[in-house]
């Protein structure tokens, strides 16, 4: 039986559409979902999926595949943005990234989401204006764009959110502006933001709008 194909891209992004970014891996994978309400993006859910490193590679791949499929079923994303492979001098790292990307792409296709691949440098440039911005700068701009406090949040989660936001900010006709016009990379965040990203675990905590939260869940083997 042929594998299901992802549904064609929608003619326009409808209010309520969930855009899910995935920073792939075979042991640790970050994810970040935002909901577009027709005017701006709201944090829906973000966190990290962890699979026990002691497991064999086939076991890790199988468990990660299960977790990603559960994530797709829970969030029902209309668009999934997966980090595109980048050149690496470390062959083993490149292979692991490729395996993780394959799992994420396959899960998104089975969920019949629109699948997009985005290079990390492109996401950084969209959010910060610089393709070589540091992870701290990316996290700061993600937090400012969503009105959250991302202090202590896993970099994998904020990287995943940056993919989702960068894709949204470059869609023509949506009227979304880049994170915060004039915001300087490295700007510190206060503790008065509307909501916060969790600092560990498979996040599953989210705020579609300030005040809304979902109970955290952890991946087996974390």
**d(Cα 186, Cα 183) in Å, to the nearest integer?**
9
- Identify the sign of the CA torsion 141, 146, 150, 153: negative
**d(Cα 148, Cα 36) in Å, to the nearest integer?**
16
Task: Give every CB contact of residue 216 below 8 A, 6+ residues apart in sequence.
Answer: 47, 198, 201, 202, 203, 204, 205
**Cβ atoms of residues 63 and 139 within 8 Å:** no
**d(Cα 160, Cα 101) in Å, to the nearest integer?**
13
The verdict on whether 159 is a catalytic residue reads no
**Cβ atoms of residues 152 and 46 within 8 Å:** no
Catalytic residue among 45, 83, 137, 159: 83
**d(Cα 211, Cα 213) in Å, to the nearest integer?**
6
Catalytic residue among 23, 45, 67, 137: 23
Catalytic residue among 45, 67, 137, 156: 156
Determine which helix (DSSP H) or strand (DSSP E) holds 211, and give its type and residue range. none
Three-state secondary structure of 102-151: HHHHHHHHHCCCEEEEECHHHHHHHHHCCCCCCHHHHHHHHHHHHCEECC
The verdict on whether 149 is a catalytic residue reads no
The verdict on whether 156 is a catalytic residue reads yes
Catalytic residues: 23, 83, 156
């Amino acid at each position: 039986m042929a594998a299901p194909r992802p549904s064609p891209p929608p003619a326009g992004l409808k209010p309520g559409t969930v855009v899910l970014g995935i920073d792939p891996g075979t042991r640790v994978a970050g994810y970040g979902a935002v909901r577009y309400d027709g005017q701006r993006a709201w944090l829906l859910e973000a966190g990290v999926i962890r699979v026990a490193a002691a497991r064999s590679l086939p076991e890790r791949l199988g468990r990660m595949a299960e977790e990603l499929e559960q994530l797709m079923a829970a969030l029902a994303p209309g668009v999934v943005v997966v980090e595109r492979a980048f050149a690496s001098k470390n062959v083993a790292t490149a292979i692991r990234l490729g395996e993780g990307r394959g799992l994420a792409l396959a899960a998104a296709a089975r969920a019949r989401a629109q699948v997009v691949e985005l290079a990390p440098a492109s996401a950084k440039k969209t959010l910060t204006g610089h393709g070589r911005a540091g992870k701290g700068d990316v996290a700061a701009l993600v937090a400012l764009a969503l009105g959250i406090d991302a202090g202590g949040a896993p970099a994998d989660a904020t990287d995943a959110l940056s993919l989702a936001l960068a894709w949204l900010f470059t869609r023509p006709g949506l009227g979304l502006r880049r994170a915060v016009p004039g915001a300087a990379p490295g700007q510190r965040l206060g503790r008065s933001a509307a909501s916060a990203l969790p600092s560990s675990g498979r996040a599953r905590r989210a705020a579609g709008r300030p005040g809304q939260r979902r109970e955290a869940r952890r991946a087996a083997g974390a």
